[in-house]
Amino acid sequence: MIKEKIIRTVCFFTNKPTSETMNKLNKITDKLINNKFEVQTKRICTTLKNLPKLKKIVKENKEILLSAGTINFENTKEIEKLCNEKNLSFNVDLTSQEIKLNHVDLLFEIIKNKPEKTFEFAYVFNNANSTPYYPSANYSQEGFAIGLQPTNLFKGCKNLEEWFVKMKSTWQEINDLLKNEKDFLGIDSSIAPNLPKESSFIQITNKIYKSFEKSVSTDMYIKTTNFIKTQNPKPIGLCGLMLPCLEDSMLAKEYKKGNFSIERNIFLSLQSGLGIDTYPIGINEKPERVLEILKLIQLLSNKYKKPLSIRFVSDGKTKIGKKSDFKNQYLQDVIIRKL
């Protein structure tokens, strides 16, 4: 039986990690599970300064995913160290910097030396505080946030309105369960798809508009984003529409067909989405082309004061025109296209 009430993550944010942090995270997770929610991941986000302390507390517990939050681009030595850490995400904020090729070089260095880390790294612009979704998460205040996988709630729905009703009911249920917890920061009501067909956002576009292509020029994306931003009883974080190219199997199929170009990704992100996410890049892609995209996303994010991020992913060996081999359970393999 396919579960519908799926929580992608429970994330605790702290700059004072102790064993009590773990206890609180486990307590909240157990409470949700006991109320018939499926919880996929448990996460803790801290600051770079407090990461050693957090690692000591978590030890070898692979169930807990960690984030060092936002790292200064100039802190290259620390970035190199972070790339050698397992189950650790981080991001680099380029909102106000003059973007040059050396910013692009960071991505290609990661591709060359630790390609699997591209899944756990992003450039961010006007990033929202306290999102539980990695790698965009960053610490700004003590407490925990909830992020869902609401695409599964579309099961049995005929239209957006029926889906909206189910989402709002689920948010309210979570809020009612957790509102008395003093550390509860809120719910990031972002639409976060996943690989299985029933977890894909494209299954929704296809049912309502018969095709993803047709849906692109409708009001579906803005209606969805407006709803999740205004009807969430306790919003926190990004609260936007994610379009993770290779994490949504049906979106990956659209990419394979040439229906999800980088331009279309940017177009949809500007009106409703959160940027370029798990988008494949060939090891022989021109750095100058990546520079153009970074500059454009920065300008659009600043112009509209909108959180946007860029997460290009690579397996470290596949060129443009060849099929990827990520060996990552969360990513669909595809023939990589030129950006």
In the chain, % of residues over pLDDT 70: 99
Per-residue pLDDT at 194: 93
pLDDT, position 1: 41
Tokens 């849906």 locate to: 215
Top-tier CATH class for 6-313: alpha beta
Give the pTM.
0.96
- pLDDT > 50? residue 14: yes
Tell me which amino acid residue 109 is. E
Render the burial of 184-204: b for 16+ CB within 10 Å, e for the rest.
Answer: bbbbbbbbbbbbeeebbbbbb
For residue 334, with 0-12 CB atoms within 10 Å meaning exposed, 13-18 middle and 19 or more buried, which class applies? middle
Helix/strand/coil (H/E/C) assignment for every residue in 276-288: EEEEECCCCCCHH
Mean pLDDT of 320-339: 97
Q: What is the secondary structure of 30-47 as a DSSP string? A: HHHHHTT-EEEEEEEE--
Per-domain boundaries in the chain:
6-313
Cα first-last separation, the chain: 39
Can you tell me the mean pLDDT for 116-124? 98
d(CA 23, CA 120): 25
Is the pLDDT assigned to residue 221 strictly greater than 80? Answer: yes
pLDDT digits (tens, 9 = 90+) for 161-198: 999 999 999 999 999 999 999 999 999 999 999 998 89
Question: What distance in Å separates the CA atoms of residue 77 and residue 73, rounded to the nearest whole number?
Answer: 10
92-105 pLDDT, tens digit each: 999 999 999 999 99
pLDDT for residue 61: 84
Q: What was the pLDDT predicted at 196?
A: 87
Tell whether the model's pLDDT for residue 60 goes beyond 80: no
Arithmetic mean of pLDDT, 134-153: 97
Asked if residue 46 has pLDDT above 50, the reply is yes
The tokens 């990033």 sit on which residue? 127
* Residues in CB range of 292: below 8 A, 6 or more apart: none
Report the mean per-residue pLDDT for the chain: 96
- Residue written as tokens 């659009």? 300
Residue 266, phi then psi, degrees to nearest 5: -65, -40
Q: What mean pLDDT do residues 36-63 have?
A: 94
